[in-house]
Chain A
Amino acid sequence: VSAPATYEQALLALATQRDDVVVLTADNRAHVPRVPEFLSPRFIDFGICTQTMVGAAAGLALRGRTPVVHAVATSLTLRAFELIRTDIGIPQLPLKLVGFVPGLLSEVDRPTHQAIDDVAVMRAIPGMQVLCPADLGELVKALPQVVASPAPAYVRYTDAPAAVEHNAPFVIGKAEVLSQEEGVSILTYGPLLREAEQARQVLVARGVPVHLVNMRSLEPVDEQAILDAVGPAELVVTLEDRFGRGGLHTIVAETCLTHRFAPRVLGLHEELSGARVAERILNVLCDREAGA
């Protein structure tokens, strides 16, 4: 048996091993097209009844199931937010919320579909894991752990190809350090890792050493990885495809405050191409632009 290559294969493999796994969706089967055929009646499509889907997932979890719940990230985290907070967060039910097209991936749909606040609102729920695999390979490797954990989780779905060669297995609560240097520390998560890696290459070519961290897990967060990145750095850069508030920039700020660090931090969440990221960083280093 070959290792699962897609999210759907990974999900079906898990559901075959574990009969507690049930798969729910709100009229969105883009990434689980064959699950109904293989898993019914453990596959349930609620139509665009996102609130009811989340509430029903809580009911299924009360009966011992582990629901893996799918919808467009904005509807899932915002339309159903109060049910997530109240019916999943308060009792800490082991529900797995998988948000499709998170961040700015839905750019051409315009702001209604851009999940640029999902991380902030999910992070606001105590005990809710917030997991951001960088590429499909990471997502597939993460899934068994995510499902096995007793905690509720929000997963930002991605099917991006890998942009780097990973050097550490995906572990909830652990970041991956891709290059360990003293100079500029870039912290990022999700498919933006590709842009961060491109920026790193530009900067290294210009003689700027780069410490690059793939955060992977924003809650629980790898505080040590943040401290290791912040401590010796001339400049700390957070790169994320979302609002500046409530995400990684905020997490770094909270961590620094707790540990009494006051680094120079540049929060990037608008101009996200690798080339432009490198340019902005060089501007700050050359005092052509103030760090945030």
Chain B
Amino acid sequence: VNAVPVALPDSEPAGPLTGPSPAGGAARARGDDRRRRDLAALALRVRERCLRLTAGDGSFIGASLSCTDLLVHLYSRVLNVHPDTVDDPDRDYLLLSKGHDVPALYATLAELGFFPAPLLAHHLRTTGSTDWRPSRSVPGVELHSGSLGHLLAVGIGIALDIRMRGGRNRVFVVLDDGGLDEGSVWESCLVAAAQHLDNLVAVVASNGLRATCRTEELLPLEPLPARFEAFGWACRTVDGHSFAGLDEAFAALAEPPDRPTAVVARTAWGKGVPSLEDLADRRFARFTDLEVEALVRELHGDGPAPLVSERKVVQ
């Protein structure tokens, strides 16, 4: 599952996985289809785990579901890191700057064997380490986060050291569009471009919602790609729920060379569970056990889950 990324032909269309692959041949296309089905199945298991983490004292479910396909794809197809290499200096790094969607990270790491999945049953308990923000004591987590606008700077330091040592590994920092409000992000964009850090990738999980409203309503930042390009970054935009599109976006990094790359992944808040999709007041949720079971059924194709829990607009 942690294969080194395989470059797909540039002409491979993003979106639905139908039709022939023009350059890769039929066998290769079948292989790609199978891999993407595997990724979709993995993403489904991750989403189910995310939903289960909303029981009890709850979690930030909206962003977790929007980020799931992205994290599943990165850990399965892009990042050169697996459970045996979490301390290997030659590993690829993923830093989750938007720490509140950590259920998706924990569920992905658990599914891929970075730590035993039963640990997730201790969510928010003093007996466990998995809380509302990432903890470095969980295998696979590089650094705690949650205060927005920090980890692009930390990623710059890691990328600088990798370059000083002549390493070929890369640093991926997952940002959220709301978190781009923080001035420190743009300060870091200046530095990364000035340092020509082509081993640094900012992945913007752009779900279009912030704590209380549409991201753009409060502080407009679109068009995001133009912003990054103006700061001297290479930038590409991708459907953050299309594994084919993500394959393409991450296959051709460092183009043009000597620049950091931003991948703006357009995602949908609450993706996969229509009862939660695109709802700011379901950003954070504490669901009853019955609601969780109904949401899991909805995830697997059943009708809308009847939700009676209070809607929350929380920070």
Give residues in A with beta carbon < 8 Å to B.
Answer: 22, 41-42, 44, 46-47, 49, 51-65, 67, 82-83, 86-87, 90-91
Which A residues are in CB contact (< 8 Å) with B158? 59-60, 62-63
Asked if A55 meets B153 with Cβ closer than 8 Å, knowing A46-B191, A91-B136, the reply is: yes
B26 to chain A, nearest CB (A): 44
Interface of B, secondary structure class, is helix
Q: Which of B2-10, B37-45, B143-151, B289-297 forms part of the interface with chain A?
A: B143-151
Which A residues are in CB contact (< 8 Å) with B159? 59
Question: Can you name 24 A-B pairs with beta carbons within 8 Å?
Answer: A46-B191, A49-B188, A51-B149, A51-B187, A52-B153, A52-B187, A52-B191, A53-B153, A55-B150, A55-B151, A55-B154, A56-B156, A56-B157, A56-B160, A57-B157, A59-B158, A59-B160, A60-B157, A62-B154, A63-B89, A82-B147, A86-B147, A87-B153, A87-B154
Which A residues are in CB contact (< 8 Å) with B143? 58, 62, 87, 91
List the 7 closest pairs (A to B, CB-CB), nearest first: A59-B157, A55-B153, A56-B157, A63-B161, A59-B158, A59-B154, A60-B157
Whether the pair A51, B160 counts as a contact (CB closer than 8 A) is: no
Which of the four size classes fits the interface of chain B? 20 to 34
A42 to B164 alpha-carbon distance, docked (Å)? 8
> Assuming A46-B191, A86-B147, what are 9 further A-B pairs, CB within 8 angstroms?
A52-B153, A52-B184, A54-B153, A55-B150, A56-B191, A58-B154, A62-B143, A62-B154, A91-B143
Whether the pair B162, A87 counts as a contact (CB closer than 8 A) is: no
Give residues in B with beta carbon < 8 Å to A.
Answer: 89, 136, 142-144, 147, 149-164, 184, 187-188, 190-191, 194-195
A155 to B156 alpha-carbon distance, docked (Å)? 24
Which A residues are in CB contact (< 8 Å) with B195? 44
A273 to B254 alpha-carbon distance, docked (Å)? 59
Whether the pair A63, B188 counts as a contact (CB closer than 8 A) is: no
A55: contacting residue among B89, B144, B156, CB under 8 A:
B156
Whether the pair A63, B147 counts as a contact (CB closer than 8 A) is: no
A56 to B158 alpha-carbon distance, docked (Å)? 7
Whether the pair B191, A59 counts as a contact (CB closer than 8 A) is: no
Whether the pair A91, B144 counts as a contact (CB closer than 8 A) is: yes
A90 to chain B, nearest CB (A): 6
